[in-house]
Structure 1
Amino acid sequence: MITDDGCELWTSATGGGEPILCCHGGPGLWDMFGTLDLGPRFRLIRWDQRGAGRSEARGPYTLERMVADVDAVREWHGLDRVAVLGHSWGAHLGLLYALARPERVSALVYVSGVGLGHDWRAEFERNFERVVGEKPRGEGRESAIWQWTADFVADGARHAEAMATPWFPVNYEANTALSEEMRAVPESELVSASESLRVPTLIVDGMADNRPRWAVDSLEQALPSVKRVRIEDVGHVPWLEAPDEFRSAVTGFLGNRGGS
């Protein structure tokens, strides 16, 4: 598909039923929802964000542009309103899209996000250092697998290998630009905006995530319509470590909310 500024994005739709637009993590990574199974009731709309994976490597890499790209993917698939599921950075992107275009979002599933502030980073780095071994030589795929292994409680190397297949270059330019812009937005500003968001929201936490889960508390407290599911003994990618429990949480929430 082509965005309004001429950027070519890779996108895919699999399954039938109610559509769910998936926003992958990063920034600068690519779609890793290939193993996500929510059952036959749902159609997963996946895409690589600009500059990532199979999409064209071109900017600008700004929050405003990324939100516009989410809207472009929704429109390209012919959807008036859609449930949005975001993971990690993609959870924040999904939230920003819901805040910008609430009339286009029927529900938001916020998975393993890091909340609205920035105080979580020091604890995350301490947690990460406690569980990782010696960093391998070189960069690229081997280094990413080493890093991602720490995101799991068990079978980390196997899960990280799956996340790195297929492999694409990491877009560090996008990662740096978007991370800096996110850090420049005050938490109070996002809390105030979230207090007016009427989109039903599900927050899903893996309680063994290296990223502290208390960082999401201010978002939960701000949202008027929110449910939070905490999955014990699970890390940053809950659909890989606890697929049945994750599926039950998401499909139960979307089913109780009703269709879009």
Structure 2
Amino acid sequence: MFVEINGNPLNVEVLGEGEHTIIAHHGAPGLGSLAEPRSSFGRLADAYRVVVFDARGSGASGEAGPYTHEQWVADVEALREWAGAEQIVIAGGSYGGFIAMEYAARHPSRVSAMVLRDTSADNANQELATRNAAASARVSIDRAKLDRIMTGTVRDDADLRECWLEILPLYDHDYDPAAVRARAEATPYHYRTHNYAFAHNQPNYDIKHLLPGITAPALVTVGRHDWITPVSCSEAIAALIPGAELRVFEHSGHSPQVEEAELWEATVRAFLDKALGAR
């Protein structure tokens, strides 16, 4: 369904009818969609009400700007109000984790728990990711394409697709060229959103100072072999959020919710049972 949120239509799906509401934010602005959180958090719809959506400028949602963190956080808050939830479990993976953390820090009274996956609290991961890509023995990366996608200077949707296809082999623990091609074909491309996020938001991104103010229980999950938001980024987050739990998945890259799906799901369920039960 389409829901008007802050003057822009968002493509929203609601799964399950549980007492507690989870709002899960996808990653990769301009490339991501609700498909990823639907496949991972949707598995919890037997016990929770799960709200997934295409963020402003991504997937099938409207493209009205701005594509700032402030706007994306405001959209989550308006979505919470639309859902009629006094408090939510806020969840986010990769870039969606940026927004989840900012939401939890700026709306602490509205967050009952937070689940993060393969994310970072500042832009230090950019340099780490660039080094990891250059050192990869799996594929030889075209440095010009890597630079365009990492700095938000892709030329159009077709160029974004080519740059995305270039780095996709780095994401998974086990490389499957057919799966990479299928993922590239299934991706909705919005190069203006991507460029704004990486050329304007990312260079100044640093919310480490906000993390000690997060009051909700937090679970930080990450794949041991994540190339773009390495384990050190999650370790830094867990060290700054009071009482945060860190779980490293030894046989995963950037997507433990896919590569170690059963273990990741069991970990999230156990965390939420404890966190929401205590509250």
Tell me the TM-score normalised to structure 2 length: 0.82
Q: Following the alignment from structure 1 to structure 2, what is the Cα–Cα distance between the partners of residues 64 and 23?
A: 14
Does the aligned pair in 2 maintain the 1:191–1:219 contact within 8 Å? yes
Structure 1, unaligned runs of 5 or more = none
Aligned counterpart for 1:59 among listed residues 59, 65, 86: 65
* Aligned pairs for 1:102-181 within 5 A: 102-113=108-119, 115-129=120-134, 130=136, 131-133=138-140, 139=159, 141=161, 144-157=164-177, 159-160=179-180, 163-164=183-184, 166-169=186-189, 171-179=190-198, 180-181=200-201
Give per-residue Cα distances to partners, 1:58-111, cap 9 Å, x unaligned. Answer: 101111111100111111111111101100000110000111111111111110
CA RMSD of aligned residues (A): 2.3
Distance in 2 between the 1:16 and 1:165 partners?
Answer: 33
Task: Name 2:248's counterpart in structure 1.
Answer: 230
Closer, same or farther: CA 158–97 of 1 in aligned 2, 3 Å: farther
Preserved contact between residue 146 and residue 157 of structure 1 (Cα < 8 Å): no
CA distance in structure 1 between the partners assigned to 2:197 and 2:246 by the alignment? 27
Q: Measure, in 2, the Cα distance between the counterparts of 1:142 and 1:35.
A: 25
What does residue 26 of structure 1 align with?
Answer: 28
**CA 1:16–1:160 in structure 2 vs 1: closer, same or farther (change >3 Å)?**
farther
| SS in structure 2 at match of 1:2 | strand
Which residue in the other structure is 1:191 paired with? Answer: 208
- What letter corresponds to residue 37 of structure 2 in structure 1? F
TM-score, length-scaled by structure 1: 0.87
Q: Which amino acid aligns with 2:220?
A: I
**Which structure shows the bigger proportion of residues in helix conformation?**
2
* Worse overlay, 120-129 or 245-254: 120-129
Aligned match for 1:83, one of 78, 85, 89: 89
For the Cα contact (< 8 Å) 1:128–1:210, is it kept in 2?
yes
Distance 1:234 1:44 in 2: 24
Secondary structure, aligned partner of 1:224? coil
**Bigger mean CA offset, 8-17 vs 29-38:** 29-38
CA distance in 2, matches of 1:202, 1:162: 31
Q: Which residue of 2 aligns with 1:15?
A: 16
Task: Could you tell me which runs of 5 or more consecutive residues in structure 2 were left unpaired when the two chains were aligned.
Answer: 146-157
Can you list the C-alpha shifts for 1:125-180, whole angstroms capped at 9, x where unaligned?
23223133466x964556534422321011544554564564322x2322232332
Identical aligned residues as a percent: 26
State the AA in 1 paired with 2:52. R
Whether the 8 Å contact between 1:13 and 1:43 is mirrored in structure 2 is yes
Instruction: Give the residue type in structure 1 aligned to 2:67.
Output: Y
Of residues 117-126 and 93-102 in structure 1, the stretch that sits farther from structure 2 once superposed is 117-126
Once the two structures are TM-superposed, the CA of residue 13 in structure 1 deviates from its matched residue by 0.8
What residue in structure 2 maps to residue 205 of structure 1? 222
**In the alignment, which of 261, 272, 276 is matched to residue 243 of structure 1?**
261
| Aligned-partner Cα distance in 2 for 1:42–1:160 | 31
- Structure 1 contact 12–45 (Cα < 8 Å) conserved: yes
CA distance in 1, matches of 2:23, 2:13: 10
Q: Given residue 130 of structure 2, which amino acid in structure 1 is its aligned partner?
A: E
- The one-letter code sitting in structure 2 at the alignment partner of 1:121 is Q
Q: Secondary structure at the match of 2:44?
A: coil
Q: Counterpart of 1:251 in 2: which secondary structure?
A: helix
Q: CA 1:69 to 1:162, structure 2 compared with 1: closer, same or farther past 3 Å?
A: farther
**Conserved 8 A contact 1:145-1:157:** no
